[in-house]
Chain A
Amino acid sequence: MSGTEYPKEILESLEDYNIDIRDFMPGHGKGAKLLLNFNKISGLEQVDGVILKGREIENGIVADIIIMEGTKIEEPVHLCFGVNKETGVQEIFPRIIAEDNTEVTVQAHCSFPKANGLIHKMFGHFYIGKNCNFTYSETHYHGENSGAFVAPVAYMYVGENSVFENNFNLTRGTPGKVKIMIDIYAMKNSVIKSNIRAFGKSKKDSVRIRDSVFLEGENARSIIKMKAAARDGGEVLMYGITEGNAPNCNGHVECNEIVLGKGSICRARPFIRAIDPTSSVSHEASLGRFPQKWLDELLAKGLTEEEATQVLIEAMLQEE
């Protein structure tokens, strides 16, 4: 399948993120790929060391993505879940397994440029083995109508001595109604980095994200960074949860949210718990507006307050 057979609207929808999905189409790039066009698999390409299987079901797919033991690949595995319709239901049931001693990045692009009553659900299981270096990045675009309902749930197990980075970005377009739940279980000596960014732009936008890390193994470490902005009546609620349940584990939750315009709401609910006396868990949160000094510095360069605020929001929500 050539890239041009995939809906043009989806291919072009992530340009604001500086992502060109065409770079990941079958026939382009070297990585493994799985493309879903609404409820149909429209592209599947495997590479050595990566097994990709997908089976269509009534409203979507069940998929297995397996990184075989010892596989270290530079090209990311690409998953594209697009819907170029206003309404409908898309359900994804992925099972992602990274066997021991693997190094891989999985990039998922979820784009619904015409969403106006569209439902996208995901129920994912991740198993990361021992001594892995695994990055999972999910970038969303839900169109400009605040018309999507998106509800991903993911359970993630991270094995001993592994580094797991989770990135979620929903900063372009309008989110609509979004409910995300992520549970990450960290084993001995593992390192978890979770970065969540979201931007609610109208009173029809409601984003609720619960990102939980359970430090279950000795010396496990984690940091959750949640950054959000809400404007013109948008609402963002972020739960950052970390439990230190093992000796010498160390976790931190950081939440920064900016509120712009009347009726907008940002809420942060960090929940931290330590049940081992040698563990350490902390949190910090800031909500409200940008410091006036930051704004003044940009105004002194000739920007209006609105332009300065936009620059600061983009900086805050920038991928690291």
Chain B
Amino acid sequence: MKDLTIPTIDQKCVIVNKVSFKVKEGSIHAVIGPNGSGKSTLAYAIMGLENYKPSEGKIYFDGIDITNMNITERAKLGITLAWQEPARIDGLSIPKYISLGVKDKINLKDRIIEALKIVNLDPERYMNRTIDESLSGGERKRVELAAVIAMRPRLIILDEPDSGLDFIVIEDFLNIFGKIKELNMTILLITHREDIGMVADHGTLIWRGDALLTDEFPKVMLRYCAKAGLKEFCKRKLFNGEGACFDEDYIDRIFREEQGL
């Protein structure tokens, strides 16, 4: 996207301000930032939701300007979104829901079963259920992931896939993201959690509507911590011990730079 600006519905304020970054095909790209920074707004704008139209800037997909396309047109190009809190609809069966975005209806049942297995839902238990209130939050999110996987889109926008989930489920979800990547689908991962973002190849830090940095994810995360003044957290949880990305001096330098010292 290039210089994307998204105002509030009443056009009085700017939520996302001249944001530009590219997502590499086949990668996991995390958009990280604190609550209220404009991450979900960015996700909805990329998907083309009516109330999230940019006032300036362009969105390109595979070189095509999609800024003025509606949701359906974007979905047909291969973009889709897995929602933070997907709806629960009485009477809509899980297989029907998963099949909605599948273009090639040949071997449809096999495709549905495969998608359920990828998200670790037992097809025998879920083929006869509906996406209603009887599903837990985690189950509903898995069904949503199964539906987007069955579509075989080129770009999946995952909006806060971790929200409302316990750590065991989150660990499982990280494995699912890996499986999605193996299927050559690109993931744009919207999150505010460092442990979720660590599966990403690249990242973009959104801070108060501005895109401050797009780079390899550890560097983006380090900058996020520096911006938030979380030095100890950064050293303790992210970049210490085995697998550390940066030495302590480097971390100190980034924090000093951020503080203008």
Contacts and interface: CB of A to CB of B under 8 A. Distances in A.
B83 interface: yes
A59 interface: no
A301 B49 contact: no
B112 to A, nearest CB: 13
A298 B92 CA distance: 12
Interface string A306-320: 000001101111101
Contact of B103 (A300, A302, A315, A320): A302
Interface in B138-154: 147-148, 151
A316 B147 CA distance: 20
Interface string B64-85: 0000001110111000110100
A311 B93 CA distance: 11
Given A296-B49, A296-B71, A301 B101 contact: yes
A291 B147 CA distance: 20
B90 A315 contact: yes
Interface in A78-114: none
B75 A300 contact: yes
A297 B86 contact: yes
A303 interface: yes
Contacts, number: 64
Interface in B72-119: 72, 74-76, 80-81, 83, 86-87, 89-92, 96, 100-101, 103
A225 to B, nearest CB: 10
B47 interface: yes
Interface residues on B, range: 20 to 34
Contact of B100 (A293, A294, A303, A317): A303
A299 B87 CA distance: 13
Contact of B87 (A291, A304, A320): A291
Given A299-B75, A301-B147, A293 B101 contact: no
A303 B80 CA distance: 11
Chain A interface SS verdict (over half): helix
A122 B75 CA distance: 49
Contacts of B89: 294, 312, 315
A291 B90 CA distance: 13
B87 A301 contact: no
Given A297-B86, A298-B100, A303 B91 contact: no
A314 B96 CA distance: 11
Contact of A301 (B50, B91, B151): B151
Interface in B29-54: 47, 49-50
B82 to A, nearest CB: 9
A297 B87 contact: yes
A129 to B, nearest CB: 33
A316 B151 contact: no
B72 A304 contact: yes
Given A296-B49, A297-B83, A311-B100, A302 B90 contact: no
Nearest to B44: A296
Contacts of B76: 302
B78 to A, nearest CB: 9
Interface string A266-298: 000000000000000000000000011110111
A302 B101 contact: yes
A293 B71 CA distance: 12
Given A299-B72, A318-B92, 14 more contacts: A296-B49, A297-B86, A298-B100, A300-B71, A300-B80, A301-B100, A301-B148, A302-B75, A302-B151, A303-B100, A311-B100, A312-B89, A315-B96, A317-B91
7 contacts: A293-B83, A294-B87, A296-B71, A297-B86, A301-B80, A302-B72, A311-B96
Interface of A: 291-294, 296-305, 311-312, 314-318, 320
Top 5 closest pairs, chain A to chain B, by CB: A301-B101, A318-B91, A315-B91, A315-B92, A299-B71
